[in-house]
Amino acid sequence: MRSSILAVGVALGAGLGVFASPTPPPESGFDERSEMRDVFKKLKASANTDWQPCHYWFQCMVLRMPLDHDDSSLGTVAIGFVKSPADEKSKDPQDILFNPGGPGASGIEVMVDGIDAIRQRLGWEHNIESSAIDVLKLRPDEIRPPEWLAQSKGEDPSTSQLWYYGASYGPILGAAFADRCPRRVGRLILDSVPDAEAYFSGDWTANIVDADRDLEEFFSLCQEAGPSSCKFWDHSVSRIKQRFNAINAKLATWTTHIENGGYFFNSRDFRQSVSKAIHDPKNYFSTLASFLADLERAIQRGFRERDEIESLDELNPRGLLYDGLDFEARFFIACTDADGRHNLSSFNDFIIHVNTEYNTSRYMGEGLASAAAMCRHMSIRAPRSQVVYPERLGVNTTANPILFLSISIDPVTPIQGARKMTKKFRGSRLLEQQGIGHTTFSGDSPCTEDVVQRYLKNASLPPEVFICRGDGNPFRWSGVRRTTLVGFPGVSFV
């Protein structure tokens, strides 16, 4: 079976697309967005699949779809797609929709920088689509993604099934799809699964129950790695933690202006930097250790120069984290999903909410608490046909079983959510990959890759309570940069 990878992004007005590259071109990065905008501006939007060569060896198209399948008078939206074709030796390729999460995360950087890791996980036998299409927003009798993919290959759209890999927020969409359209489930791989019932309720406290455990792992793994690998090393785990807490406490009462950085650095920035590291330990634990060591020395000197913290750029809390479109989209989507169910109408309610979040996670609770406040005056509501009722989520039978994945300790999608969701879909299985970080892509595991590829081949599942070994202490990978597949969500949801 031959397959390809397709990246999908919303192309509103100017036609912003999403693109992929099996081997990232030299110096690839976010500046290539402008190049892809030009590519998609030249493509004519169509209601039918119309692939055109683009960007290296990829194929692109702009698909025009209704904003609301229930109300065509609302107009249409143009969706930019990029497909990474499967190995030429494969026959009859299957299409897999890949959703990197967010909510609202762009597939651009994910597919550009992460295609090799995605291919390593899913193989070269399938078409993989990274998509901004929200499949749960489509009515059960109008499940467009699998239908138009089937139609483009001359197959019967009425019997088409969805093949889907969703990470982070992606499993929310996958679970909602399976709930509404159980007979349309082809392959669903749901990686790092939030508690969907808690998510749709608008109270996201359940997301961070393991966040502090991730940071505790940093202290332990730093001490285990030794002073040559961890620059914040000390003779005991408790001493490392004590020094960390001293930095955190100092910044809670003190803000410094970094003169050649052009901004103030405070406790919020510090927590954002730490959050970025615990999401992606393999890339950032060593950087975090250097950052803490530099910051500790700089605080003692009353630092004012950015150059005193050499690692600040890598953990920069004021960088891409505050990308306006991504940040705004994240809250609009999450608040719409919540549908007004979490009531913070009074100041006292909000204080109780903040205390609950802080008591759940000392290091990430305050940041997440502010996220719920964004929804308070949002009057936009989804059409009733698109509202998900979390207490009803789950089915006894799907056309094919669902494969859930989770890493052992995840700061924003704890394994408890995956265990709960697995029970809601009878016949599904959960694979636990040993390690820490956000999604199973935060570590490498040949075992996980083998299970995933077997599932794609014949829908076979691992035994119950199945655990795959991870790749060990992240400090061992110091100096080896890896692709980050799932966009850093900062203080917000998943």
Across 422-433, average pLDDT: 95
Which has the higher per-residue pLDDT, 321 or 411? 411
Structure-token pair, residue 85? 């074709």
Work out the pLDDT band at 494, boundaries 50, 70, 90. Answer: very low
Which has the higher per-residue pLDDT, 311 or 191? 191
Q: Select the CATH number that applies to the domain covering 4-197+394-472 from these four: 3.40.50.2300, 3.40.50.1820, 2.60.120.10, 2.60.40.10.
A: 3.40.50.1820
Across 218-240, average pLDDT: 96
Judge contact between 340 and 202, C-beta under 8 A: yes
Q: Which DSSP category does 322 fall into?
A: G
3-state SS track over 112-138: HHHHHHHHHHHCCCEEEEECCCCHHHC
Range among 78-82, 118-122, 282-286, 449-453 with highest mean pLDDT value: 449-453
Work out the pLDDT band at 264, boundaries 50, 70, 90. Answer: low
Structure-token pair, residue 58? 């990829």
Res 140: pLDDT = 41
Work out the pLDDT band at 27, boundaries 50, 70, 90. Answer: very low
Across 237-251, average pLDDT: 94
Which has the higher per-residue pLDDT, 464 or 305? 464
CA distances from 49 to 21, 83, 135 (A): 20, 12, 18
Work out the pLDDT band at 485, boundaries 50, 70, 90. Answer: low
Across 346-360, average pLDDT: 89
- Determine which of 184-188, 308-312, 432-436 has the lowest per-residue pLDDT on average: 308-312
Res 368: pLDDT = 80
Whether pLDDT at 419 is above 90: yes
Work out the pLDDT band at 484, boundaries 50, 70, 90. Answer: low
Beta bridge partners of 10: 79
Which has the higher per-residue pLDDT, 33 or 276? 276
Res 112: pLDDT = 62
Whether pLDDT at 10 is above 50: no
Whether pLDDT at 39 is above 70: yes
Whether pLDDT at 154 is above 50: yes
Residue 237: strand, helix, or coil? helix
Res 216: pLDDT = 96
Whether pLDDT at 40 is above 80: no
Q: Using one digit for the tens of pLDDT, what is the confidence trace for 277-303?
A: 999 999 899 999 999 998 888 888 776
Euclidean distance between CA atoms 464 and 28, whole angstroms:
41
Whether pLDDT at 492 is above 50: no
Across 339-355, average pLDDT: 85
Res 211: pLDDT = 93
Which has the higher per-residue pLDDT, 190 or 170? 190
Which has the higher per-residue pLDDT, 264 or 101? 101
Whether pLDDT at 433 is above 90: yes
What value does the CA radius of gyration of the chain take, rounded to a whole number of Å? 22
Whether pLDDT at 46 is above 90: no
CA distances from 204 to 195, 369, 373 (A): 9, 8, 12
For the chain, percent of residues with pLDDT exceeding 90: 29
Please report the sign of the dihedral spanned by the C-alpha atoms of residue 10, residue 14, residue 20, residue 26: negative
Whether pLDDT at 132 is above 90: no
Structure-token pair, residue 91? 């026959």
Mean pLDDT across the chain:
78
Judge contact between 194 and 169, C-beta under 8 A: yes
Whether pLDDT at 337 is above 90: no
Please name the residues in contact with 379: beta carbons below 8 A apart, sequence gap of 6 or more: none
Q: Using one digit for the tens of pLDDT, what is the confidence trace for 382-416?
A: 777 778 887 888 888 999 999 999 999 999 999 99
Whether pLDDT at 338 is above 90: no
Range among 23-27, 39-43, 239-243 with highest mean pLDDT value: 239-243
Global pTM exceeds 0.95: no
Q: Please, what is the Cα angle at 289 between 116 and 212, to 5 degrees?
A: 85
